[in-house]
């Protein structure tokens, strides 16, 4: 049952007293500024009404009742809360009372167009973890009061009229430059946000304080805010995909219904002599223990080694030391992987110090090291021999009821692993757990999941594509800057070999060779030393060919088809003419027969430029930002 205002304010007052008792040294937040002071009974209802009448406006009810029942100034989520009579103090100068000199400030219309608020919240709903620019309003705006300083030159304010009346916003002074104008002072404002399971709200005055009190002693306040946004986003994605058409959704069902208890988590850590990385640990506590996640969803903590299990699901019981073992990969190996000296990093099956986050599919998984220099980062891991293809069975509620494997059951002596890297400039950074989840959510409904175009009509003639500059410019020194999952990734042709092959350094795939024979481009990017056709300058719409390679212990086929020839295409704000769209469908050979992996990739090549975009049904989205061609 929802609390009435009096009950809510009584709880807030009680919580201030409890917090003060628990923080006698005033160490939390801005406690030294306000000392949890409650100024109760120093104002009457008649005095407030006289103030409102004098300035011809009304305080929002929650604020007015807080002043009367809890405190007029004092304790606050920021620095000391301003008493209502000094609620314009930050605007006063030289000892002058701003309200006296500007009596119309309180009743002035708060200048925030509804469309600006709707646009801001819409962006936040769809991209809850992204930084969105604040809204600017005129420097001489009115219709609000100051609640408290927020630090770093910012303030908490409360609009007094319009659709935002009674809400709490953050404000800071700044400058803006209107179109075709000169810089001018302004105020930048943004709403405080309340992530509440399936919805996003802007908290009112009382909720603003109650939420702050709830997290008063939380040492991870900022992290909790991010996790709240992530959880809300999973709910939103579930509503937007009711038929679970997005890759992997049929396995995890967008489930975030069950988090783990702190007691259970701590018992697990004690039993396995491990300290889980902070972001992952708080995710288990505040969002969910398994369920919704990238690809086929996240493993619950108790199933964090499920891909290593026998059908008895006992690997963790038989190897309790696995999680506490040192993760054996070195910085030198990562450097060698990054510079192309090695294509993958081998990991012995006896190695430990990691757990599984999710299954990518086709024998590939996302893992997370638990110790060493790569703690908390995410890596790809795939079987080397791969003679067995593991599977997991879940019931209608998403609970794991069984697992097993196809194939001859041969043991894999080693696994291949590779770090998921962010490369801003020349710096190498590893992808942290929560960043990865946030980027994945943001790309959930990207173009990778758009319905395929209609197939070219059977028997319809397709004009040959023109052949002049080529769709993959090959020259030593050519480089391309992409965004991969929203993060920078570079591709560069470093040298031309005497055999006519070009060495390509790719920020994700490592190094591989490309060469051109006539109008056909060949590359060993799928399997080292195995040159396969990847592109044809004179292909026609409807043309097909196959890329055959060996990976994960299986023979694989990428069935390629030329979908269409686009007159132009805009990517990342740049428009490219003459674009060739290819589509590749991945298949694995099982017992001599091709098995469809339900993984389709679209490649967009612009003539004279190269690859400008690629999308896959597993959610990977790569976009060209800049090409530098010699």
pLDDT-based confidence at residue 453 (cuts at 50, 70, 90): very low
Q: Of all helices (H) and strands (E), which one includes residue 119?
A: helix 114-126
Whether 469 is in a domain gets the answer: yes
Same domain membership, residue 356 and residue 291: yes
Same domain membership, residue 559 and residue 510: yes
Q: What is the pLDDT of residues 284-334, one digit of tens each?
A: 999 999 999 988 899 999 999 988 876 666 788 888 999 999 999 998 888
Predicted TM-score (pTM) of this structure: 0.60
Q: What is the pLDDT of residues 552-565, one digit of tens each?
A: 667 889 999 998 88
Q: Is 130 helix (H, G, I), strand (E, B) or coil?
A: coil
Among 121-135, 176-190, 483-497, name the one with the lowest average pLDDT.
121-135
In the predicted model, is pLDDT for residue 223 greater than 60?
Answer: yes
Whether 125 is in a domain gets the answer: no
Parallel, antiparallel or unpaired: strands 479-484 and 135-138 = unpaired
CATH of the domain at 502: 2.40.360
Range of the domain at 152: 5-117+133-214
Structure-token pair, residue 460: 């319809």
Q: Is 601 helix (H, G, I), strand (E, B) or coil?
A: strand
Of residues 460 and 498, the one with the higher pLDDT is 498
CA distance 136 to 154: 14
Q: Exposed, middle or buried by CB within 10 Å (0-12, 13-18, 19+), for 630? A: exposed
Residue where a domain terminates, one of 214, 238, 271: 214
Same domain membership, residue 248 and residue 185: no
Q: What is the pLDDT of residues 351-366, one digit of tens each?
A: 999 999 998 776 788 9
Tell me the HSE value of 234 on the side-chain side, using a 13 A CA sphere.
24
Same domain membership, residue 269 and residue 251: yes
Alpha helices in 242-368 (DSSP H): 249-252, 262-272, 278-286, 315-318, 331-338
Burial 276-297 (b: 16+ CB within 10 A, else e): bbbbbbbbbbbbbbbbbbbbbb
Same domain membership, residue 155 and residue 225: no
Report, as an integer, the average pLDDT of 258-279.
95
What is the structure's pLDDT at 14? 96
pLDDT-based confidence at residue 265 (cuts at 50, 70, 90): very high
Whether 334 is in a domain gets the answer: yes
Same domain membership, residue 471 and residue 433: no
CA diameter of the chain: 92
Of residues 543 and 448, the one with the higher pLDDT is 543
Report, as an integer, the average pLDDT of 20-24.
95
In the predicted model, is pLDDT for residue 441 greater than 80?
Answer: yes
Q: Of all helices (H) and strands (E), which one includes residue 123?
A: helix 114-126
In the predicted model, is pLDDT for residue 184 greater than 80?
Answer: yes
Are the C-beta atoms of 471 and 486 separated by less than 8 Å? no
Rounded to the nearest 5 degrees, what angle is found at the Cα of 565, between the Cα atoms of 560 and 570?
Answer: 105
Parallel, antiparallel or unpaired: strands 421-422 and 429-430 = antiparallel
Query: In degrees rounded to 5, what are phi and psi of residue 575?
Result: -100, 130
R_g (Cα) of the chain, nearest Å: 29
Same domain membership, residue 427 and residue 317: yes
Parallel, antiparallel or unpaired: strands 144-151 and 154-159 = antiparallel
Q: Which of 152-161, 402-411, 485-494 has the highest mean pLDDT?
A: 152-161
What is the structure's pLDDT at 46? 96
CA distance 348 to 329: 10
Same domain membership, residue 202 and residue 239: no
Whether 463 is in a domain gets the answer: yes
Are the C-beta atoms of 356 and 280 separated by less than 8 Å? no
Q: What is the pLDDT of residues 385-439, one digit of tens each?
A: 443 444 455 566 666 555 444 433 445 667 888 887 654 444 556 778 998 888 7
Are the C-beta atoms of 213 and 358 separated by less than 8 Å? no
Q: Which of 16-30, 102-116, 386-400, 439-453 has the highest mean pLDDT?
A: 16-30
Residue where a domain terminates, one of 156, 181, 214: 214
Structure-token pair, residue 364: 């590939």
What is the structure's pLDDT at 580? 92
Report, as an integer, the average pLDDT of 217-241.
87
In the predicted model, is pLDDT for residue 520 greater than 60?
Answer: yes
In the predicted model, is pLDDT for residue 164 greater than 60?
Answer: yes
Percent of the chain with pLDDT over 70: 84
Among 119-133, 383-397, 530-544, name the one with the lowest average pLDDT.
383-397
- What's CA 322's distance to the chain center, in Å? 29
What is the structure's pLDDT at 86? 96
Total domains present in the chain:
3
Burial 361-387 (b: 16+ CB within 10 A, else e): bbbbbbbbbbbeebbbbbbbbbbbbbb
What is the structure's pLDDT at 449? 29
Whether 447 is in a domain gets the answer: no
């Amino acid at each position: 049952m929802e609390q009435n205002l009096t009950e809510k304010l009584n709880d807030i007052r009680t919580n201030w007293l409890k917090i003060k008792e628990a923080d006698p040294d005033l160490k939390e937040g801005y406690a030294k500024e306000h000392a949890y002071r409650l100024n109760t009974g120093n104002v009457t209802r008649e005095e407030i009404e006289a103030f409102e009448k004098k300035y011809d406006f009304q305080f929002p009810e929650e604020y007015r009742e807080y002043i009367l029942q809890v405190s007029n100034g004092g304790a606050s989520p920021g620095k000391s809360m301003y008493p209502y009579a000094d609620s314009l103090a930050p605007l006063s100068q030289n000892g002058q009372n701003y309200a006296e000199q500007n009596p119309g400030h309180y009743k002035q219309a708060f200048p925030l167009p509804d469309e600006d608020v709707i646009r801001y919240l819409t962006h936040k709903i769809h991209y809850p973890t992204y930084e969105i620019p604040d809204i600017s309003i005129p420097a001489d705006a009115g219709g609000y009061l100051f609640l408290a300083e927020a630090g770093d030159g910012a303030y908490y304010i409360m609009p007094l009229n319009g659709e935002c009346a009674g809400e709490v916003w953050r404000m800071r002074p700044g400058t803006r430059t209107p179109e075709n104008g000169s810089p001018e002072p302004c105020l930048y404002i943004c709403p405080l946000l309340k992530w509440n399971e399936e919805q996003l709200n802007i908290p009112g005055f009382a909720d603003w304080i109650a939420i702050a009190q709830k997290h008063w002693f939380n040492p991870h306040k900022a992290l909790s805010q991010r996790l709240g946004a992530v959880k809300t986003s999973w709910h939103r994605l579930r509503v937007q995909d009711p038929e679970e058409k997005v890759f992997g959704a049929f396995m995890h069902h967008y489930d975030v219904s069950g988090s783990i208890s702190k007691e259970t988590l701590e018992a697990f850590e004690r039993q396995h002599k491990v300290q889980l990385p902070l972001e992952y640990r708080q995710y288990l506590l505040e969002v969910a223990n398994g369920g919704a996640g990238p690809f086929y969803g996240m493993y619950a903590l108790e199933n964090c080694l499920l891909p290593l299990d026998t059908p008895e699901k006992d690997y963790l019981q038989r190897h309790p030391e696995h999680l506490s073992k040192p993760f054996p990969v070195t910085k030198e190996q990562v450097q060698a992987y990054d510079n192309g000296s090695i294509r993958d990093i081998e990991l012995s099956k006896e190695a430990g110090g990691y757990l599984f986050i999710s299954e990518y599919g086709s024998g590939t998984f996302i893992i997370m090291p638990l110790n060493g220099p790569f703690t908390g980062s995410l890596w790809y891991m795939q079987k080397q021999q791969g003679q067995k293809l593991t599977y997991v069975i879940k019931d209608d509620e998403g609970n794991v009821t069984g697992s097993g494997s196809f194939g001859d059951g041969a043991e894999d002596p080693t696994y291949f692993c590779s770090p998921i890297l962010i490369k801003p400039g020349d710096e190498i950074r590893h992808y942290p757990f929560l960043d990865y989840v946030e980027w994945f959510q943001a790309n959930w409904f990207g173009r990778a999941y758009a319905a395929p175009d209609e197939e070219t009509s059977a028997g319809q003639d397709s004009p040959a594509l023109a052949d002049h500059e080529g769709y993959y410019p090959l020259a030593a020194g050519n480089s391309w800057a992409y965004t991969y999952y929203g993060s920078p990734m570079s591709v560069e042709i470093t040298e031309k070999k005497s055999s006519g092959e070009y060495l390509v350094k790719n920020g994700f795939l490592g190094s591989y060779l490309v060469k051109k024979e006539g109008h056909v481009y060949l590359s060993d990017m799928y399997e080292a030393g195995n040159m396969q056709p990847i592109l044809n300058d004179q292909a026609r719409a409807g043309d097909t060919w196959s890329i055959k390679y060996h990976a994960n212990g299986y023979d694989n086929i990428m069935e390629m088809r030329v979908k269409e020839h686009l007159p132009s295409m805009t990517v990342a704000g740049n428009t490219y003419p003459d674009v060739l769209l290819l589509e590749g469908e991945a298949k694995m050979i099982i017992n001599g027969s091709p098995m469809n992996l339900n993984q389709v990739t679209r490649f967009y090549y612009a003539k004279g430029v190269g690859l400008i975009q690629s999308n896959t049904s597993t959610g990977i989205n790569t976009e060209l930002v800049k090409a530098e061609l010699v």
